[in-house]
Amino acid sequence: MGYVVGRPQGARRKKEVPKEIKFQKKLIGTCRDRRKSEDLLMWAQNSKAYKLCPHSKCMYHETRKEKGKLQNYLISNQRKGNRWVKQSRFIGYGKISGQKIHQLKKKFEMDLISSKKYLYLTKSQVLELEKLRQAYFEKTNALSKEEFEQFENSYFTELTYNSNSIEGNSLSLEETSLVINEGLVPKGKTLREIYEAKNHAQAIKFLQSCTKDVDEALILKLHSIILNNISERFAGRYREGTVRIFGSDVRFPDAEKVPQLVRNLVYWYKEHKNEYHPFELAVIFSTKLVSIHPFVDGNGRISRLLMNFILQRNKFPWINVYTKQRAEYLQAVRKGNDGEYLLVINFMAKTLKENLESFRLIQKRGNHDSIH
């Protein structure tokens, strides 16, 4: 007598994932690539897979045939909660070259961006930031894989050097590069300084590969990376006592209030994501975190890393605050401690432009008046 092998009585059948959903997830995974496919984005944001799509907006070219005529439209999709808000623009009849469509897309995107009013950024600033963003990605997307890796290595080595130097680390740019790129230890430097360089570079890699949004767990994880091998007792943990900045009369909240203040800040971020310009959002979040000063050490580095993470999530380049700007930067942050964010937002916008000029991603045009 034969026996039928099956599930034990009462056992639940494992729920099968439909092939369509598996296919959607696989495709959506590919659209995180910086050289993403326009067709894939169009499909993802117009199908039932929109909830899986990691992007907040996209624009694509669509053709329609009406009365025998080929009509061309540009479609802009922007995420608003769990739905997409679509805007379209007619761009002409017949076949249009890819180069022309690319130019029309840029103009449509600029028009959409400049039509919205923001709390701090002026219309001219918004347009300037968008030009910087587009220039950055146009130049970096044109690089080969090897060239892009070299560019990123140089850019983020400088960023690590400057961020640590602002906080008092004595490693030079060359020494920072030796530590994080070649694994060498310069003479006369403390272990703390060596680990500060290594940890900051590791934190950048962590954020570059992170797909989740900002939350309390992410903030604590980032802090644990920054203080790894430096202060295991405080790494990834909120402060339990009072903190002061030497030479400053700034007072920070009591330690017992810190956890709730950080949760409030995360809630503020989630509630205002669609209200503020992404650049405003990133800079203000960073400044608010510094105002809380939730950790015994590493607050400045954590705040700048999270600012750049928010910019990254909104397809903006990372900002490298130069150590030579330390006094100007701290003055702007102190204004932010009092709830006045215009100075620090303007400072960061100016600095981003200087960053891109430094790496010749945009042409230097004398002064920076247009970004102020």
**Sequence-ordered list of residues with C-beta below 8 angstroms from that of 185, at least 6 positions apart, any chain:** 178, 179, 194
d(CA 60, CA 102): 10
Contact indicator for 258, 246 with CB cutoff of 8 Å: no
Q: How far apart are CA 352 and CA 321, in angstroms?
A: 8
Strand order in the sheet with 57-66: 57-66, 69-80, 83-93
Query: CA 149 to CA 100: how far, in whole Å?
Result: 30
DSSP state of 371: G
Count other Cβ atoms within 10 Å, centred on residue 194.
Answer: 22
Listed in sequence order, the residues at least 6 apart from 165 whose beta carbon sits closer than 8 Å to its beta carbon are: 171, 323
Round to whole Å and give the CA distance between 114 and 101. Answer: 20
Indicate which residue of 102, 277, 293, 368 is catalytic. Answer: 293
8 Å CB contact between 40 and 31: yes
SS3 at position 370: helix
End-to-end CA distance of the chain: 86
**CA–CA gap between residue 75 and residue 88 (Å, rounded):** 4
Rounded Cα distance, 95 and 102, in Å: 14
Q: Give the CA distances from residue 3 to residues 6, 13, 14, 54, 351, in Å, rounded to whole numbers and listed in that order.
A: 9, 20, 22, 48, 74
How many angstroms separate the CA atoms of 8 and 18, rounded? 24
Is 102 one of the catalytic residues? Answer: no
What CA–CA distance (Å, rounded) separates 17 from 22? Answer: 7
* Catalytic site positions: 293
